[in-house]
Amino acid sequence: MPDVVGPRNTPTDQSPRKKGWRKAEIIDMAALCFMERGYHATSVDEVADRLGCTKGRIYHYYASKIDLFFDVHREGMKKLFEAIEPAMKTTGDGLTVLHAMLMAHAKAMLEHHTFENVVAQGVQIHRFDATTEDQRQTMKLLIDSRDRFEGFFKDQIAAAIADKTLRDMDVSVTAKVLLGALQWSIFWYRARPDETVAEREELARKMVEPLIDGLRRN
Amino acid sequence: MPDVVGPRNTPTDQSPRKKGWRKAEIIDMAALCFMERGYHATSVDEVADRLGCTKGRIYHYYASKIDLFFDVHREGMKKLFEAIEPAMKTTGDGLTVLHAMLMAHAKAMLEHHTFENVVAQGVQIHRFDATTEDQRQTMKLLIDSRDRFEGFFKDQIAAAIADKTLRDMDVSVTAKVLLGALQWSIFWYRARPDETVAEREELARKMVEPLIDGLRRN
DNA sequence: ACAAAAACATACTCGATTGTATGTTTTTAC
DNA sequence: GTAAAAACATACAATCGAGTATGTTTTTGT
């Protein structure tokens, strides 16, 4: 009689045999589930089911559900930082660099909207769900990273004002408004399976353009 | 021996004796709890505790937790519609009216951020939690009302483009970007207890200004 | 004043879910 | 080739929270 459970996937089935790819597989599916139903409404069993395995696998890698959430959040923030990094190194006046950062951020929000949706949920999951001291420490680090990310935009806005390429305006509020405008896409954007990079780029352009040029005609 | 449970509050304790104020009290507390912890993380017992009563009271008015959520959502949408209504009746060119609508919306988002936070959660609570046919019907009506609200802004943007007071741009994307910029405040804005109306108005102005005037200097 | 209805409180059921304990298979290291 | 470790699966415990059934008090209508 053959085994009821088939042989486990070999690394070559998936992406090239990178170390830790089994864990990454879990993170990706968790991000998808958390996006679709929200963190609290998603059960660990559900994530396992959609991976075609059992809870045992997930709890082999993660001590608790919230720790899995933290990893998804961390990955989401990593993608955000990596996306704007090239734009920040651009040479140009203050507004030009800011424009490039906003475009990069918009594209990243669309491309990784699964993860970024979960990042947004992280704002609400504060102190309540992090019970152990270790978890509270992790939570603090994640909040810090979100603040640092926003800080990059605040700094660039301030630089552009000093630069005279930007009118004088409230740096903090403007940063939140601009980022919010792009990040709100987690609520309305869903990737089409056949969507090309060029199409996403075009959508990102349509998003950033009214922010840079404003609404006034001249 | 006196009663363990004190006498129930009389209408005069709270707002003027409006019919249904006992229900409104529940809605308000539910909105607060749902905002602070999210719908799924909030238990009905918790809402009751913070009201100083028991579940019995809530289930006297509501058949289920999701029905309570629906009422909070409905109230949130009602506040949004009422806020922009005067602005929509303003006479003026397309951009002027749009500006007034955005200001009204920004102020409403700040003033009722508790309810509007819950409205945003409603986007994720789709088909899964609405089990009965009646609940699915209610859910559909709420989604429709959100679409109608966005439609008002899309129409006004289109009118302003036709009006030549607005450059040509993607109506749908621009509407989502503008509304998102203001609605993202649910994540960062929390009301100070001593905050005045004038202060909120000033904050709303700082939010809308970069959207209308854009970032470019000239 | 009194019956009916409204407005709750109390105590319970029951399903769903997180986390654990343990067994089994696969891989790795030597 | 073999022992150890990694990578799971299985079955269970223990909690928590939604919803219900029922009793009690307060209000209301006449």
Nearest chain B CA: its distance from A17 CA (Å): 35
Q: Which residues from chain A sit within 8 angstroms of residue B153, using beta carbons?
A: none
Flag the least confident range among A80-84, A166-170, B114-118: A166-170
Residue nearest C17, CA–C1′ metric: A43
Interface check B128 vs A, CB under 8 A: yes
> What are the CA-CA distances from residue A203 to residues A35, A38, A45, A197 (Å)?
21, 26, 36, 10
Among B residues 79-98, those touching chain A with beta carbons less than 8 Å apart: 95, 98
Model confidence over A64-110: pLDDT tens digits? 999 999 999 999 999 999 999 999 999 999 999 999 999 999 999 99
Q: For residue B173, list chain A residues with Cβ-Cβ distance below 8 A.
A: 203, 206-207
Neighboring chain A residues of B178 at a CB cutoff of 8 Å: 181, 210
Please give, rounded to a whole number of angstroms, the shortest distance from the CA of A23 to a CA of chain B.
26
- B4 CB below 7 A from strand C atoms: yes
Bridge partner list, A166: B216
Q: Do residues B26 and B51 lie in contact, with contact meaning Cβ atoms separated by under 8 Å?
A: yes
Identity at B128, one-letter amino acid code = F
Give the nucleotide nearest to B4 (CA→C1'): C9
Cα radius of gyration rounded to whole Å, chain A = 20
| Mean pLDDT of the region A186-207 | 97
Residue B15 has pLDDT above 50, yes or no: no
Which sequence spans correspond to the domains of chain A?
Answer: 64-213
Res A2: pLDDT: 33
Would you call B202 an interface residue with chain A, using a CB distance cutoff of 8 Å? no
A64–chain B Cβ distance below 8 A for any pair: no
Q: Which of A38, A120, A173 sits opposite B207 (nearest CB)?
A: A173
Which of B117, B215, B216 is the best mutation test for A, with the most CBs of A within 10 A? B215
Cβ–Cβ contact B176 with A under 8 A: yes
Mean pLDDT throughout A165-173? 95
B143 closest CA partner among B81, B73, B62, B84 = B73
Q: What digits encode the pLDDT tens for the residues A124-135?
A: 887 778 889 999
Q: What is the pLDDT of residue A217?
A: 63
The percent of chain A in helix, strand and coil, each rounded to the nearest 5, is 70, 0, 30
d(CA B49, CA A144): 33
Domain B64-213 architecture = Orthogonal Bundle (1.10)
CA–CA min distance A13, chain B (Å): 32
